[in-house]
């Protein structure tokens, strides 16, 4: 409300009270008040309909508000929606990297599921740094997201781990959801690849092809995923009389695979090995490039394996032996668990892996490996 005045012979005179016209948005778009006026309802009723408040609105009023919004081409404000519902239709995804096909495939699945649930996806890249995860989460919480997905291996001994869990629990206490894509932590739900079991199966499979002395090229040992996959390989090889003779660590990406393999070539660490097992497919690709640069033929002079079965694993030369995980489906399942908790039937979803034997691990007993 405001007091209106007009100019008279004796100067400015008050004329009473009048209603201020609704202000337009900065871009000139219609406001919530415009929609309410066209629909013939109160702004509060229009807000409950358009911002998906938990308070019920009669079907007739609801239809009038939605029709008015379409006619005016009204777009709800996310902050207003968050105020009305307590959360905004935002699903936040924290990933270690976006150039790693592993996380790209998971993100694609998350986006598909989020769209079906009427949510948009916000992505933060954390570089496998728990401190950056914590900073990103605190920033994202200002958007009042409906849910947060934390993808990537947990880092053992990180000084930020407890603070991160505290932030996630606070989000849950405020009505949101938090889900890990990876090993569960702090009692929060998770969708996780069965890394230990799958790596054990891979070790058993390559030992069955006659490869008994493995060098592992992988990420830092403080990553839980690295520990699980390395231990699984040890167990699988040992069951057939094989063993891991060396572990070389570097960044958990293609460049890390290249650097680690070059060091092994320089110090003679590959001389006694008959298979190089990379911690993921991205590292395996870098490792194969390093082998060629060092005068060795991947799949002939030494076998090579990866992990995850990214989309290009079957396209590289030689085709890469790896462990298949349905990465997009893992992302979809995590998003469903966050946005519709009853959809997955559990709070801890374990996803099994499947060994894919290809040309990069020939059968030393004779014959070429069959993909399975």
**Per-residue confidence (pLDDT) for residue 87, from 0 to 100:** 58
Instruction: Tell me which residue of 170, 119, 129 sits closest to 339, measured CA to CA.
Output: 119
**Which H helix or E strand runs over 171?**
helix 161-173
The whole-angstrom separation of Cα 232 and Cα 344 is 27
Q: DSSP secondary-structure letter at 73?
A: T
Q: CATH topology for 86-193+345-350?
A: Rossmann fold (3.40.50)
Q: Mean pLDDT in the chain?
A: 86
pLDDT computed for residue 33 by the predictor: 87
Residue 131 burial (C-beta neighbours within 10 Å; 0-12, 13-18, 19+): middle
Band of pLDDT at residue 44, cut at 50, 70 and 90: confident
Dump pLDDT digits (tens) for 27-43. Answer: 557 888 888 898 898 88
Q: Which two tokens stand for residue 343?
A: 């959809």
Tens-place pLDDT, residues 315-362: 999 999 999 999 999 999 999 999 986 765 568 899 999 999 999 999
Structure token digits, residue 223 = 């990553």
CB 122 within 8 A of CB 348: no
Digit-coded pLDDT (tens) for 56-95: 788 888 888 889 888 888 866 555 554 445 457 899 999 9
Greater confidence, 293 or 14? 293
Q: Residue 146's closest CA among 338, 342, 331?
A: 338
For residues 92 and 80, give the distance between their C-alpha atoms in angstroms, rounded to a whole number: 18
2-83 and 195-325+352-356 share one CATH topology?
Answer: no
Higher pLDDT, 87 or 235: 235
Given a contact cutoff of 8 angstroms between Cβ atoms, the answer to whether 150 and 184 are in contact is no
How is residue 365 written in tokens?
């007993």
**DSSP 8-class letter at 9:** T
E strand or H helix at 207: helix 195-208
**Residue 15: per-residue pLDDT:** 41
Residue 290 or 144, more confident = 290
Q: What is the pLDDT of residue 126?
A: 92
Q: Is residue 11 predicted with pLDDT exceeding 90?
A: no
* CA pair distance 241, 154, nearest whole angstrom: 31
Judged against a pLDDT cut of 80, whether residue 114 lies above it is answered with: yes
Half-sphere exposure of 297 (CA within 13 A, CB side): 6
Q: What's the rounded mean pLDDT across residues 270-275?
A: 96
Contact 288, 298 (CB under 8 A): yes
Domain locations along the chain: 2-83, 86-193+345-350, 195-325+352-356
Give Cα separations from 201 to 197, 229, 316 (angstroms): 6, 10, 23
Angstrom distances, CA of residue 204 to CA of 138, 241, 242, 349:
43, 10, 9, 25
Q: Where does 56-176 show beta strands of DSSP type E?
A: 88-95, 120-125, 145-151
| Distance between CA atoms of residues 46 and 139, nearest Å | 30
Given 3.40.50.2300, 3.40.50.150, 3.40.50.1240, 3.40.50.300, which CATH number is that of 195-325+352-356? 3.40.50.2300
pLDDT of residue 16 exceeding 50, the answer is: no
Question: Whole-structure pTM over 0.95, yes or no?
Answer: no
Question: Looking at residue 45, what is its pLDDT?
Answer: 86
Task: State the residue for tokens 């270690």.
Answer: 96
Superfamily of domain 2-83: lambda repressor-like DNA-binding domains (1.10.260.40)
């Amino acid at each position: 409300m405001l007091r209106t005045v007009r100019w008279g012979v004796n100067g400015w005179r008050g004329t009473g009270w009048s209603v201020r016209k609704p202000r337009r948005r900065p871009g000139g778009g219609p406001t919530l008040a415009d929609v309410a006026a066209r629909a013939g309802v109160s702004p509060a009723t229009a807000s409950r309909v358009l911002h998906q408040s938990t308070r019920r609105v009669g079907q007739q009023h609801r239809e009038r508000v939605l029709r008015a919004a379409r006619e005016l081409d009204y777009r709800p404000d996310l902050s207003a929606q968050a105020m009305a519902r307590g959360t905004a239709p935002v699903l936040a995804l924290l990933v270690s990297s976006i150039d790693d096909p592993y996380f790209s495939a998971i993100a694609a699945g998350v986006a598909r599921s989020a769209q079906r649930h009427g949510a948009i996806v916000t992505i933060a890249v954390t570089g496998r740094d728990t401190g950056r995860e914590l900073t990103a989460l605190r920033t994202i919480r200002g958007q009042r997201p409906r849910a947060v997905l934390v993808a990537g291996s947990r880092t053992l001994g990180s000084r930020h781990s407890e603070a991160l869990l505290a932030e996630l629990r606070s989000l849950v206490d405020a009505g949101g959801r938090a889900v890990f894509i990876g090993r569960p932590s702090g009692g929060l739900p998770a969708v996780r690849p069965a890394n230990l079991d799958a790596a054990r199966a891979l070790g058993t499979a390559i030992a069955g092809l006659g490869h008994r002395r493995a060098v592992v090229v992988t990420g830092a040992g403080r990553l839980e995923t690295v520990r699980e996959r390395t231990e699984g390989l040890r167990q699988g090889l040992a069951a057939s009389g094989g063993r891991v003779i060396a572990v070389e660590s570097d960044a958990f990406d293609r460049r890390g695979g290249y650097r680690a393999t070059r060091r092994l070539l320089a110090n003679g660490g590959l001389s006694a090995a008959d298979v190089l097992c990379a911690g993921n497919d991205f590292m395996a690709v870098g490792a194969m490039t390093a082998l060629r640069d060092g005068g060795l033929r991947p799949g002939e002079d030494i076998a090579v394996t990866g992990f995850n079965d990214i989309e290009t694993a079957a396209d590289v030369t030689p085709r890469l032996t790896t462990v298949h995980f349905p990465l997009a489906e893992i992302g979809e399942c995590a998003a469903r668990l966050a946005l519709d908790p009853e959809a997955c039937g559990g709070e801890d979803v374990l996803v099994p892996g499947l060994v894919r034997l290809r040309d990069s691990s020939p059968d030393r007993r004779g014959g070429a490996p069959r993909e399975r």
